[in-house]
Structure 1
Amino acid sequence: MTHTDAPAPAVALVTGASRGLGAVIARRLAAEGHPVAVVYRSGAEAARAVVGEIRAAGGTAEAFAADVTDEAAVTALVADVAARLGPVTTLVVNATGPQPERDPAAVTWQDHLDQLTFFVKSPTLLMQAVLPAMRERGGGRIVQIGSDVLERVLPEMSAYTAAKAAQHSLTECWARALGPDGITVNTVAPGWIPVERHAGASSAALADYAAAVPLRRMGEPGDVAAAVAYLVSPAAAFVTGERIRVNGGHALG
């Protein structure tokens, strides 16, 4: 293959990318050569800042505002990204919403629906929207950002935990269904990785958590981004249907 025949780098769409894990993942994928769609629901200034950082480092990125829980918005988003950056063949499902803590006796069906909207409905809409381009190009990568909360069994997080379990079930089903199309589907399941929304966490809480981690430290957003970068790389071409915990061994039995 000559230099001029080399395939164009895969366009990566990262949801919830204006801050937190999503922003770090977007910057890492851009550094790996992917044109990146920085998708956000709110926080336009923060999204533009992420794009600016990527461009300053020599990468390619555009910011896209969208409600990724809305079917029409997702369809329009993927078409807009294709028009501005190229067809999406790498999808990182990272967007999340509020994660209220509730005693199981007080959890409502709406609490469950709120979590399922982010972790079942939205991923499904996104997968279906990018699937035609992935199939047309003979393959793609889908990575969902899950959680190690499944192993931690926190009663006050029952609605969130149930939705995260369902999300990984989607990963496994999609991996089997889309494998023949050359599409891999995996989940990265972080432990507690402090980001902006954890700014109010006490130093004592952080220290207690880190003490329970076999590696004796808190995880960093870059640890999660590194796992995502691996899964969307050629090195992970034969890895699909997996759930990779990035938590320093915290959930080990």
Structure 2
Amino acid sequence: MVNIDLSGKTALVTGGTGQLGRVMVRTLAECGANVVIHYNSNEEKALELRDEIRSLGRHSAIVRADITKKEAIFAMKSEAEGELGPVDIVIANAVVQYAWTSVLEQAPEDYVSQFESCVMQSVYLAKAFAPGMIERSWGRIIGINTECAMQNDPTQSAYVAGKRGMDGVYRVLAKEIGKHGITVNQVAPGWTISERDRENHTERSEGYESAVPLRRRGTDQEIANAVVFLASDLASFITGAFIPVNGGNVMPTI
């Protein structure tokens, strides 16, 4: 029987209170991991999730940090490991939100925010957590990318620029630290159904779904399932991968 068992591991999820992050947090805990929940402003949700994870018999802590700042990420590491010990699994899920528009109209600051929250967050997380993983000869670094990085559709430019830059960092990092038993991978969601959609009854989008080979939108749980798989020993020989979880809406080529 195939089983995902993360018992004895500690995971950190940046953007852990977000629509996708909260389901990753719950699923990691259900698979046995202790979980550090990063948040930026939604402390109420972070506390709710922490208590939910503890009710499952796991250890959990919350940490607030600006993931675009190196000092904040290193302080987050100290706080997280002070409460739960070494972090084995790092999931870079947080990203700055902004209003999308055309290249000609997009504010330059939006490109900066995407670079900082996609590329530099990934770099700072690696600098903070990879050395400990190297010492222990085990680790998982998982970035949440997007199908948009392959679509390159109008109004996506700042987001695509940030995520494609993130992709480059992850591919190089996978080659640099693989010899230490650390895998580095990316999950690229499509337009995903989340708790917000269920509350607002906005799960369906016939225009989008009609172009998806599986003819539906994915769910937040399906994204979390891919994350815990990559975090587990079932994926011990997968690294440097960019895995779309979008029903085939975009397909990497060889």
Q: Using structure 1 for the length normalisation, give the TM-score.
A: 0.91
Give the equivalent residue in structure 2 for 1:55: 54
Q: Secondary structure at the match of 1:156?
A: coil
Take 2:203 and 2:209, find their aligned partners in 1: how far apart are those partners? Answer: 10
Take 1:231 and 1:25, find their aligned partners in 2: how far apart are those partners? Answer: 12
C-alpha deviation, 1:204, in angstroms:
9.2
Question: Conserved in 2, the CA contact under 8 Å of 1:100 and 1:157?
Answer: no
C-alpha deviation, 1:33, in angstroms:
1.1
Give the equivalent residue in structure 1 for 2:221: 222
Q: Is 1:109 paired with 2:108?
A: yes
Take 2:76 and 2:111, find their aligned partners in 1: how far apart are those partners? Answer: 26
What residue identity is the alignment partner of 1:140?
G
Take 2:102 and 2:95, find their aligned partners in 1: how far apart are those partners? Answer: 21
Give the equivalent residue in structure 2 for 1:3: none
The Cα offsets for residues 215-250 of structure 1, whole Å up to 9 and x where unpaired, read as 122110010100010101001111000000000111
Structure 1's 235 and 171: CA in aligned 2 closer, same or farther, altered over 3 A? same
Give the equivalent residue in structure 1 for 2:146: 147
Give the equivalent residue in structure 1 for 2:117: 118
**Greater helix proportion:** 1
Take 1:25 and 1:35, find their aligned partners in 2: how far apart are those partners? Answer: 12
Question: Conserved in 2, the CA contact under 8 Å of 1:19 and 1:47?
Answer: no
C-alpha deviation, 1:203, in angstroms:
4.6
Give the equivalent residue in structure 2 for 1:236: 235
Give the equivalent residue in structure 1 for 2:247: 248
Alignment of 1:155-166 (within 5 A): 155-166=154-165
Take 1:109 and 1:201, find their aligned partners in 2: how far apart are those partners? Answer: 32
C-alpha deviation, 1:99, in angstroms:
3.4
Take 1:237 and 1:135, find their aligned partners in 2: how far apart are those partners? Answer: 15
- Between the two proteins, what is the percent identity of the paired residues? 35
C-alpha deviation, 1:100, in angstroms:
1.9
Alignment of 1:5-84 (within 5 A): 9-84=8-83
Structure 1's 74 and 212: CA in aligned 2 closer, same or farther, altered over 3 A? same
Q: Secondary structure at the match of 2:243?
A: strand
Question: Conserved in 2, the CA contact under 8 Å of 1:186 and 1:243?
Answer: yes
The Cα offsets for residues 154-203 of structure 1, whole Å up to 9 and x where unpaired, read as 12111111111111111100000011111110000000013356689885
C-alpha deviation, 1:205, in angstroms:
6.7
Alignment of 1:119-198 (within 5 A): 119-195=118-194
Matched residues, number = 247
Take 2:56 and 2:120, find their aligned partners in 1: how far apart are those partners? Answer: 34
Q: Using structure 2 for the length normalisation, give the TM-score.
A: 0.91
User: Structure 1 regions of 5+ residues with no counterpart?
Assistant: 1-6
